[in-house]
Amino acid sequence: MSLSSSSDRGSSRRSQMAGVVYSQAFRSAFYQVVLAIFVLLAGYYLYSNVVENLCAQNIATGFRFLSEVSQFEIGERLINYSARDSYFRALVVGLLNTLAVSGVGIIVATILGFTVGIARSSSNLLLKKLAGCYVEIVRNIPVILQVIFWSVVIRNLPPPRGAVELWGAGFLSNRGLTVAMPNTHPSHGWMLVALVAGIILSIITAGFIRRRNDATGKHVDSLWVSLLLIAGLPLLVWLFSGAPLGMSIPERKGFSFSGGSTLSPEFVALLLGISMYASGFIAEIVRSGIQATPRGQIEAAKTIGLKPWYITRYIVLPQALRVIVPPLTSQYVSLSKNSSIAVVVGYPDLVNIGNTVMNQTGQAVEAVAIMIVVYLSISVVTSLVMNFYNRLVAIKER
Amino acid sequence: MRNLKACLLAATVALATLPSFSAFAANGDTLKQVKERGLVLCGVHPARHGFAAPDSKGVWEGFEVDYCKAVAAAVLGDANKVRYVPLSSQQRFPAIQSGEVDVLARNVTANLSRDTALGLNFAPPIFYTGTGFLVRADSGVKEVKDLDGAVICMAPGSTTERNIAQIFAARGLKYTPVVIENNKQLVDAYVTGRCDALTKDKAALPGVRAVDTPKPADHVLLEGIYSKEPLAMAVRQGDDQWYDIVKWVVYATFNAEEMKVSQANVDAMLKSDDPDIQTLVGTIGDNGAKLGLDQKWSYNIVRQVGNYADIYDRHFGPSTSIALDRDLNRQWNDGGILYGQPMN
């Protein structure tokens, strides 16, 4: 182009322009930019309209309210909190409650879902049909009804005075499940450290054993070594710190119980509702994963004399996980969003606390914005972690 | 390409010229809108027996419902020209702020932060109450200090959450709150024994006991009132004329009772010689014109809805299932604190 003479420079520039305009890359970029500008403009319009109207109506705006004293109590909390703390701390209490119920919910849903999913693909007809019934029931009843159902069931348990005693270790009543807990002891923190160390060590040794197996052709299962490390290290720490055995045993006192730890009815109802609902979907995902493994491979594995457990562990699971993990991610994300049903039963999750904050300060736009950002972050982090795991189990193309 | 450009241009122009949509009330707007619509939109409690609840035929009734009617009678001359908008405690403030309702008569406690930060104006309180507790009769609880360590059920988004924290902190007591928005779920949680006490405005509890508990006799209200809850109607800031109207509707019901002008005798009072009464029933003066209303506005309130005593007795009087002592809600010359400003 640089060599073209001055007379045809104009026309060549035009054709160059036309080339750019009609190029695939330019066009797709152009549409994207236009779309982005429109989204931004629309967003700005909505934002400025809201701010303008709130100002005109003398309604306070901004996030300054977060540092003000909340003046309300919260029933369940994982960190210290009282009515003298700030709205910000109240929202953190709510966030931690949301994370607690979602985290435990994901674990429960996964265990239930995998168990039922494996049972559904079992050759035992009774087991298979029972698992099928379970899936159809929990999957087809709206999650909000399931949460209310469990909350009604728990509320109709006997009151504290007539609570069901659990072999001296706790009570089951309409105030929740109260169980004996070890008294707090300085060794507990170290046991946690030992647990984490055990998990890291077990991953390292598993890698080492796998390489050794590959190199020698012998087979040593790393599972037992891993279990020993994970359970053994904290146990060792406990023994060396004098094996503290003090337990806080719950007893009836006043309106309910003193001592021990209590899982509140609201927490349990919400946990059961959202995790059973998700477990139905997870079971189906697991079943599809298992059935995705070609039968021929399993038959071949049997022919060379592999035991059933080895077939599951080394042939079926690695291939099933590839199918299971991506849809499992969206189940985890939707479970953590479903936890906002907490408002119905009164579990103080982020939405519940956010509603109270919204009402006391009147700053609905800000409070809702905080909730949106938090749920978005939880979902994105869940997806990122699961995508990372997916990359671990996916087929490595070399 | 040209098509796309034209389309983009049109869209840009459309976006730039979009009017900024506003719910902001300018002076006089609300009255004009209400008259054009021929209906007052009144935000009420979805189910608070005595204050606002639909009856078995779906007809709204209650103390605050009657105040919605009083506004309609004054503005439109017909107490039935009201559309009731049931609102949860979460929804009530956005509803009035956004103009979804013209007036909020929904058990709202008037206080400073709502008056300012929420952009509201409060008419004179129509019902003075305070935090109350409903407990099981067999629990042995006689006063608040017996509730140390109790689980207490309450609704979110009300002043109750804050009051309870203060009441218990001031007495050095502990409690566990269970906060449930849905009224049915909330009462159910108390009735089935999840909570030791249910707390609400004291005036709301007799209705809960009479209607929602399976055996009303098994439940008692704690003596005493533990916080100040002046319940008032609210309007948006920015429309002073509408605020004046709602305010004087309230005073009209107070003054009518004070002057002993009731629903039963208001027509006879049209022939009264007392200038105060003549002003109230609209035979003299120009109060209607000053407010932008019909001269008969206060006559219509008393004729169609009644004076304060008529309204109170209809819902909390001795003949009702939730009989409530008038207590602070008496006239100022009868030991209460209702004091209608003079209507001259």
User: Is A138 within the bounds of a domain?
Assistant: yes
Are B196 and B93 within 8 A, CB to CB? no
Residue B11 confidence (pLDDT) above 50: no
Residues A106 and A13 in one domain: no
- Total domains in chain B come to 2
Residue A10 confidence (pLDDT) above 60: no
User: Is B343 within the bounds of a domain?
Assistant: no
With vertex at residue B202, the alpha carbon angle to CA B196 and CA B204, rounded to the nearest 5 degrees, is: 95
B189 vs A52, A58, A346: nearest CB: A346
Residues B121 and B269 in one domain: yes
Residues B221 and B243 in one domain: no
A41 at interface of B, judged by CB pairs closer than 8 A: yes
End-of-domain residue from the set B178, B203, B227: B227
Q: How confident is the model at residue A179 (pLDDT cuts 50, 70, 90)?
A: confident
Are A277 and A138 within 8 A, CB to CB? yes
B165 at interface of A, judged by CB pairs closer than 8 A: yes
Residue B247 confidence (pLDDT) above 70: yes
Q: Name the residue of chain A whose CA is nearest to B108's CA.
A: A359
A243 at interface of B, judged by CB pairs closer than 8 A: no
Q: What percent of chain A has pLDDT over 70?
A: 93
Residues A321 and A374 in one domain: yes
Q: Look at A346 and B179 and tell me if their CB atoms are within 8 Å.
A: yes
Residue B12 confidence (pLDDT) above 70: no
Task: Write down the pLDDT at residue A55.
Answer: 74
The residue with greater pLDDT, A144 or A249, is: A144
Instruction: Determine which of B121, B194, B239, B243 to mutate to test the interface with A (most A C-beta atoms within 10 Å).
Output: B194
Worst-scoring range by mean pLDDT, A20-29, A72-81, A178-187?
A178-187
Residues B44 and B74 in one domain: yes
Task: Write down the pLDDT at residue B157.
Answer: 65
User: Is B186 within the bounds of a domain?
Assistant: yes
Distance from CA of B229 to the nearest CA of A (A): 15
User: Is A191 within the bounds of a domain?
Assistant: no
What one-letter code names the amino acid at B87?
L
- What are the φ/ψ torsions at residue A178 (nearest 5 degrees)? -105, 120
Q: How confident is the model at residue B13 (pLDDT cuts 50, 70, 90)?
A: very low
Q: Look at B23 and A60 and tell me if their CB atoms are within 8 Å.
A: no
User: Is A156 within the bounds of a domain?
Assistant: yes
Residues B121 and B236 in one domain: yes
Residues B144 and B80 in one domain: no
Are A61 and A55 within 8 A, CB to CB? yes
Give strand pairing partners of A253. Answer: A256
pLDDT in tens, A276-305: 999 999 999 999 998 888 889 989 999 999
Residues A27 and A101 in one domain: no
A147 at interface of B, judged by CB pairs closer than 8 A: no
Task: Write down the pLDDT at residue A183.
Answer: 73
Q: How confident is the model at residue B8 (pLDDT cuts 50, 70, 90)?
A: very low
Residues B56 and B111 in one domain: yes
Q: Look at A175 and B117 and tell me if their CB atoms are within 8 Å.
A: no
Which residue from A387, A280, A380, A278 is spatially nearest to A326, judged by alpha carbons? A387
User: Is A299 within the bounds of a domain?
Assistant: yes
Residue A388 confidence (pLDDT) above 70: yes
Residues B87 and B146 in one domain: no
User: Is B75 within the bounds of a domain?
Assistant: yes
Tokens of A198: 């055990």
End-of-domain residue from the set B196, B227, B258: B227
Residue A86 confidence (pLDDT) above 90: yes
Q: Look at B22 and A53 and tell me if their CB atoms are within 8 Å.
A: yes
User: Is A166 within the bounds of a domain?
Assistant: yes
Q: Name the residue of chain B whose CA is nearest to A364's CA.
A: B94
Distance from CA of B190 to the nearest CA of A (A): 9
Mean pLDDT of chain B: 88
User: Is A253 within the bounds of a domain?
Assistant: yes
The residue with greater pLDDT, A17 or A75, is: A75
Residues A48 and A117 in one domain: no
Q: What is the ipTM of this complex?
A: 0.71
User: Is B333 within the bounds of a domain?
Assistant: no
Residues B239 and B120 in one domain: yes
Q: Look at B178 and A266 and tell me if their CB atoms are within 8 Å.
A: yes
Q: What percent of chain A has pLDDT over 90?
A: 34
End-of-domain residue from the set B207, B227, B247: B227
Residue recorded with tokens 């924290």: B165
Q: Look at B188 and A358 and tell me if their CB atoms are within 8 Å.
A: no
Residues B119 and B249 in one domain: yes
Domain that holds residue A22: 9-54
Residue A103 confidence (pLDDT) above 60: yes
B94 at interface of A, judged by CB pairs closer than 8 A: yes
Residues B90 and B239 in one domain: yes
Residues A275 and A354 in one domain: yes
Are B293 and B244 within 8 A, CB to CB? no
Cβ-based burial of A181 (10 A; exposed 0-12, middle 13-18, buried ≥19) = middle
CATH of the domain at B144: 3.40.190.10
A363 at interface of B, judged by CB pairs closer than 8 A: yes
Residues A378 and A287 in one domain: yes
Residues A101 and A50 in one domain: no
Beta strands A181-182 and B40-44 are unpaired
Side by side, which strands form the sheet with B103-104?
B82-86, B40-44, B103-104, B234-236, B120-122
Chain B partners of A68 at a C-beta cutoff of 8 Å? none
- Total domains in chain A come to 2
CATH of the domain at A135: 1.10.3720.10
A156 vs B22, B162, B192: nearest CB: B192
Task: Write down the pLDDT at residue A65.
Answer: 87
Residues A18 and A161 in one domain: no
Q: How many CB pairs under 8 A join A and B?
A: 141
B169 at interface of A, judged by CB pairs closer than 8 A: yes
Residues A36 and A178 in one domain: no
- Tell me the average pLDDT across A104-118: 94
pTM of the full predicted structure?
0.76
Domain that holds residue B170: 131-227
Please state the three-class secondary structure of chain A as a single string. CCCCCCCCHHHHHHHHHHHHHHCHHHHHHHHHHHHHHHHHHHHHHHHHHHHHHHHHCCCCCCCHHHHCECCCCCCCCCCCCCCCCEHHHHHHHHHHHHHHHHHHHHHHHHHHHHHHHHHHCCCCHHHHHHHHHHHHHHHHCCHHHHHHHHHHHHHCCCCHHHCEECCCCEEEECCEEEECEECCCCHHHHHHHHHHHHHHHHHHHHHHHHHHHHHHCCCCCCHHHHHHHHHHHHHHHHHHCCCCCCEECCEEECCEEECCEEECHHHHHHHHHHHHHHHHHHHHHHHHHHHCCCHHHHHHHHHCCCCHHHHHHHHHHHHHHHHHHHHHHHHHHHHHHHHHHHHHHCCCCHHHHHHHHHHHHCCHHHHHHHHHHHHHHHHHHHHHHHHHHHHHHCCCCC
Cβ-based burial of B338 (10 A; exposed 0-12, middle 13-18, buried ≥19) = buried
User: Is A354 within the bounds of a domain?
Assistant: yes
Residues B75 and B152 in one domain: no
A26 at interface of B, judged by CB pairs closer than 8 A: no
How far is B203 from B258, CA to CA, in rounded Å?
23
B27 at interface of A, judged by CB pairs closer than 8 A: no
Residues B144 and B121 in one domain: no
- Tell me the average pLDDT across A63-80: 87
Q: Look at B114 and A255 and tell me if their CB atoms are within 8 Å.
A: no
Distance from CA of A247 to the nearest CA of B (A): 22
A359 vs B11, B89, B196: nearest CB: B89
* Spatial CB neighbours of B343, under 8 Å, sequence gap ≥ 6: B248, B251, B252, B255, B276, B279, B280, B287, B298
For residue B27, give the 3-state DSSP assignment. Answer: coil
A254 at interface of B, judged by CB pairs closer than 8 A: yes
Question: What number of other Cβ atoms are within 10 A of residue B277's Cβ?
Answer: 20
